[in-house]
Amino acid sequence: MTTPGSYDIEALRAEFPILQRTVGEAGAPLVYLDNTATSQTPDCVVRAIVDGYTRTKANVHRGVHTLSQEATDAQEATRRRVQTFIGAESHEEIIFTRGTTEAINLVASSYCSLLSPGDEIIVTVMEHHSDIVPWQLAAERHGLRLRAIPLREGTSELDLDAFAAMLGERTRVVAFTAVSNVLGTVNPVRRIVDMAHAAGAVVLVDAAQAVAHERIDVRAWDADFIAFSSHKMYGPTGIGVLYGRRDLLDRMPPYQGGGEMISHVDIARSTWAELPFKFEAGTPDFVGIAAFHAAIDWLERTGIERIAAHEHELLVLAESLMDELPGVRIYGRAPGKCAIISFLMGPDASAYDIGMLLDQMGIAVRTGHHCAQPLMHALGVAGVARASFAAYNTADEVHRFVDALRRIHRIFRL
């Protein structure tokens, strides 16, 4: 059986043993639709993790023995793999972090220390809290002003006219998501970057929701910083990437102090290591980083464009079936949206109720405010249920999901 994205879906699903699980009260086959939060991991990545722990577990850099040299080579091979994957000019522009959250915190803490009181940071109302709170902390620390681009009235798209009016001579940083984790809206990255650059601001793009669904070229985007996480792209948890322009990274002070990030230390003062190590204090998750290489290889081998085409087919099918159910409200209808469906059902079924009932039928979705409370306020809701699709989901799973919604519909007599 092939998918609209032209790969063998059954062979692909066989690479993910967790999909054979049963869950819920009736022991139903798992339908995993929480991919926006975290994707599942193929066997090749799990094997790479096991190999790291059973063959090459030794701290990276400075060790002269074989295991340390092998672990170091594996980590640095992943750094170069990330560089080519996103089209960065140099591997020294690739900083390993614990995830998108830490990558954004690094920039907010380090770059904003170079700013002056009264300077401005612009985010958007659709940001994940990880792209709001770090800027709030930086603003409080340095006397900066934080503003947010609203949605265009009656739509799930950003109001770029409002953004243009907000830009000014004190705008120093613009931070925004490439894809909304709630609405699925795909933002016009290059247009926003160009507008920000024209005002003299640097730009950080949160690519956590984009990197597994579209091909990213950092030089085509022309962003100054880009952050994303391995666990949303079929890789290990606890691994993230910050791409930064070398000239900016060179100017920025270290984010954390400790081992690895130093050149020389004495009691009075220290000097810093060259990039990228200046921003990588302490022992990294070198096993996870090495396994991240396998995840990127898997994505490339499967084909990001084919995965995206497959996910889009599932999105269209799911939305068309859900539109037939009275009382179902889908939040996010922007053209070209990512394969994310946030929804509520009638006046009485809360997002939590929906999620619990779906789980009893074997279907995993996410519920709540999705770390996007300002967006929930803009939408006028406390939270939503969210289904999101990945490479291994099937049309049959979409039908099971919507059939389960029909049962919930009857339970609440919507």
pLDDT exceeds cutoff 60 at 2: no
pLDDT exceeds cutoff 90 at 255: yes
* Residue 216 DSSP one-character state: -
Q: How far is CA 364 from CA 29, 57, 356, 386, in A?
A: 11, 34, 9, 10
Confidence band, pLDDT 50/70/90 cuts, at residue 173: very high
Contact 200, 217 (CB under 8 A): no
Could you report the per-residue pLDDT of 301-345, keeping only the tens digit for each? 999 999 999 999 999 999 999 999 999 999 999 999 999 999 999
Rounded to an integer, what distance in angstroms lies between the CA atom of residue 115 and that of residue 135? 12
Could you report the per-residue pLDDT of 23-41, keeping only the tens digit for each? 977 789 999 999 999 999 9
Rounded to an integer, what distance in angstroms lies between the CA atom of residue 167 and that of residue 317? 40
pLDDT exceeds cutoff 90 at 132: yes
Strand pairing partners for 22? 29
pLDDT exceeds cutoff 90 at 412: no
Q: 């230390």: which residue's tokens?
A: 265
What mean pLDDT is reported for the chain?
96
Task: Show which residues are catalytic.
Answer: 371
* Residue 254 DSSP one-character state: P
* Residue burial 98-107, b: 16+ Cβ < 10 Å; e: rest: bbbbbbbbbb
Ordered domains of the chain (ranges, CATH)? 9-32+304-411 (3.90.1150.10), 46-301 (3.40.640.10)
pLDDT of residue 337: 98
At 355, list the tokens: 């999620």
> According to the 3-state scheme, what is the secondary structure of 183-204?
CCCECCHHHHHHHHHHCCCEEE
pLDDT of residue 414: 58
Instruction: Calculate mean pLDDT across residues 381-399.
Output: 98
Q: What percent of the chain has pLDDT over 90?
A: 92
pLDDT exceeds cutoff 80 at 279: yes
Instruction: Calculate mean pLDDT across residues 367-393.
Output: 97
| Cα of 129 vs its chain's centroid, Å | 12
pLDDT of residue 260: 87
Strand pairing partners for 177? 206
pLDDT of residue 7: 86
pLDDT of residue 4: 47
Nearest CA to 114 out of 134, 86, 78, 141 is that of 141
Q: List the single range of 112-116, 302-306, 347-351, 361-365 with lowest mean pLDDT.
A: 347-351
